Amino acid sequence: MPEKLLRVENVTKRFPGVLALDRVSFELYKGEIHALVGENGAGKSTLMKILSGVYQPDEGTIFYKEKPVAFHNPHEAQQAGISIIYQELNLMPHLTVAQNIFIGREPLRFGGYIDDQKMNRDTKEILAQLHVDIDPTTPVYALPLSKRQMVEIAKALSLNADVLIMDEPTSALTESEVEELFKVIHRLRSQGTGIIYISHRLEELKHIVDRVTILRDGKYVGTYNYNEITLEELVSKMVGRTLEHKFPPRTSTPTDRVIFEVRNLTRAGVIEDISFCLYAGEILGIGGLMGAGRTELARIIFGADPKDSGEIYLYGQKIDIRSPIDAIHAGIGYLPEDRKLSGLAVEMLLSENITMANTEAVSSPMGVISFAKERAAAEHYIKELDIRTPSVYQIVKNLSGGNQQKVVVAKWLFRNAKVLIFDEPTRGIDVGAKYAIYTLIDQLAREGIGIIMISSELPELLGMTDRILVLHEGSLMGILNTKETTQEEILNYATGLVTRAI
């Protein structure tokens, strides 16, 4: 038998109003890739934060290399040889790539000064292992999300850990970047590193995983050899029920009434001459490869980034959007791909997040917020959107990913948004919660709200939309009828192999 690196016995963790882990056990061997799966709120991230020293268990024992341990902070866990890549990136945006990777461990030269040249060289070598071309002197804020994810991975690799925990490492990566990451993972396994791998992209597990442990509602369900359990069985054990369909039946039907229109929208070097209409009852998808301009288009429409030219119409009336405030007042809501960074105030209460875009509706004429009105509004949307929370006063960061996404939706509904732009609506959300989000999107379209859905997952676009705009290098290559297209045709437009067809 291979050496046992980690053993968790009957670990329990409680938070106010929540039993996050209930007598959970887990084992990891040397040179093993062990998947940890479960719906959002199952306890995966809590268990990993205990292993990495962020939290301490209320009950239970952790054995590391067959010795009982108690990590009081992440530094102690790192010193022991346990490193973690968090789902929510843990980088300092105004520091360089190299400074982020070696923060607190900077190489020094004579006199105790930081040796920047060596730090940059070492960073370049680590990034080369990932086949990533990033200048080590680039500030992190200047990188796209996918590159930031690779920096986070490089940071973990630089620690030469015996145990590497990966929490949703591929959620922001392109297909080619995922392939490179898998090569690195296989190489680390061959060197004896034990890897705990958390992912909601269950299809990718077959490429790397040896065993899988399932959690549900904070409880241990079971551990299985991955090649001895089917994907359907895995999902059923995760959610406690069978999921016959990935996508709900569509109940909204597009009409010929135009809700929203974009004409010749341009920002030099970003998007070029983009025009489209959004019809009542329609879910309009936007697809394309990384860097195609999907998020950039959404941010320009929302006023977060400036446009050079172009016009935007809502219900036939031209609207002038120069900032997000203009967009909000016009009735446009934007749900960004990184909801925790840009869509929510995660340290604030659920009730405060729901009402923050429309505080005047819960305030007196003098501008004093009525907590009774704020609570009533939050309770309404908790019921309306089935937000799973112990209280309206729950801090948002303690909610699961799916419920956090519902809070962002509630915020815009409370603002009476007429058009909602969903950017990667199910990123980091488990298979069961995805279905709930899809159902909600369909319901919103049925109720007359204009829905634009950006997604890098082609099955999601094909399963949920009526038409798909396909972008390539900032240009609109085609507008495809979802029922009449295929993944192959979308990719042909997305890669620029097919000439523009509008």
pLDDT in tens, 392-429: 999 998 887 788 888 988 888 888 889 999 998 887 67
Helix (H) or strand (E) holding 301: helix 294-301
Q: Is the pLDDT of residue 87 over 70?
A: no
Q: Could you please report the per-residue DSSP string of 337-359? A: SSIIIII--TTSBHHHHHHGGGG
Q: Total structural domains in the chain?
A: 2
- Among 91, 102, 77, 204, residue whose Cα is nearest residue 142: 91
- Of 190, 219, 239, which residue sits at a domain end? 239
User: Of 209, 239, 269, which one is at a domain's C-terminal end?
Assistant: 239
Task: Choose between 261 and 103: higher pLDDT.
Answer: 261
Residues 227 and 285 in one domain: no
CB 210 within 8 A of CB 32: yes
476 contacts 276 by C-beta, under 8 angstroms:
yes
- Measured CA distances, 197 to 129, 302, 329, 383, 401 (Å): 19, 36, 43, 34, 18
Phi, psi of 422 (to 5 degrees): -95, 115
| Claim: this prediction has a pTM higher than 0.75 | no
Q: Which residues pair with 216 in a beta bridge?
A: 219
Q: Looking at 146-160, 212-226, 271-285, which range is the least confident one?
A: 146-160
Q: Is 177 found in the same domain as 325?
A: no
Q: How confident is the model at residue 185 (pLDDT cuts 50, 70, 90)?
A: confident
Q: In the predicted model, is pLDDT for residue 213 greater than 90?
A: yes
Cβ-based neighbours of 223, under 8 Å, separated by 6 or more: 26, 27, 211, 212, 213, 214
Query: How is 369-408 classified by DSSP, letter by letter?
Result: B-HHHHHHHHHHHHHHHT---S-TT-BGGGS-HHHHHHHH
Residue 243 confidence class, pLDDT cut points 50, 70, 90 = low
- Cβ distance 451 to 284 under 8 Å? yes
Question: Is 396 within the bounds of a domain?
Answer: no
The verdict on 255 and 178 lying in the same domain is: no
The verdict on residue 14 lying in a domain is yes
Q: Are 472 and 494 in contact (CB under 8 A)?
A: yes
Q: Say yes or no: 93 and 146 in one domain.
A: yes
Tokens of 330: 């016009």
**Structural domain span for residue 83:** 4-239
- pLDDT value, residue 43: 87
CATH number of the domain encompassing residue 265: 3.40.50.300
For residue 409, being part of any structural domain is answered with no
Is the confidence at residue 242, as pLDDT, over 70?
A: no
Q: Are residues 275 and 233 in the same domain?
A: no
- Give the DSSP letter string of 411-473: HHHHTT-SEEEEESTTTT--HHHHHHHHHHHHHHHHTT-EEEEE-S-HHHHHHH-SEEEEEET
pLDDT tier for residue 1 given thresholds of 50, 70 and 90: low
Give just the sign of the alpha carbon dihedral 286, 288, 290, 293: negative
User: Residue 62: helix, strand or coil by DSSP?
Assistant: strand
Q: Mean pLDDT across the chain, nearest whole number? A: 88
Asked if residue 147 belongs to a domain, the reply is yes
Note every long-range contact of 473-476, with CB atoms under 8 Å and residues 24 or more positions apart, other chains counting: 473/291, 473/292, 473/293, 474/269, 474/270, 474/271, 474/272, 474/292, 474/293, 474/296, 475/271, 475/272, 475/273, 475/274, 475/293, 475/500, 476/273, 476/274, 476/275, 476/276, 476/500, 476/502
Q: Are residues 288 and 160 in the same domain?
A: no
In this structure, what is the dihedral angle of CA atoms 156, 395, 73, 8, given to the nearest 10 degrees? -80
Question: Do residues 44 and 424 touch, judged by C-beta distance below 8 A?
Answer: no
The CA-atom distances, in angstroms, between 111 and each of 105, 108, 115, 122 are 16, 8, 10, 20
Q: Which residues of 5-20 are buried (b: 16+ CB within 10 A; e: fewer)?
A: bbbbeebebeeeebeb
Same domain, yes or no: 212 and 253: no
The whole-number average pLDDT for the span 57-82 is 92
At residue 365 the predicted structure's pLDDT band, cuts being 50, 70 and 90, is confident
Task: Determine contact, residues 362/377, Cβ cutoff 8 Å.
Answer: yes
CA dist., res. 92 & res. 172, Å (int): 18
pLDDT in tens, 448-494: 899 999 998 888 899 999 999 999 889 999 999 999 998 888 888 88
Q: Are residues 229 and 258 in the same domain?
A: no
Q: Any residues with CB less than 8 A from the CB of 179 and at least 6 apart, and which?
A: none
Distance CA 448, CA 416 (A): 11
Between residues 290 and 84, which one has the greater pLDDT?
84
Examine residue 201 and state whether it is found in any structural domain, yes or no. Answer: yes
Note whether residue 322 is domain-resident: yes
Are 165 and 55 in the same domain? yes
pLDDT of residue 244: 60
Residue 40: per-residue pLDDT? 67
Q: What is the pLDDT at residue 223?
A: 95
Is position 437 within any domain?
no
* Average pLDDT of the segment spanning 50-61: 93
- Whether 418 is covered by a domain: the verdict is no
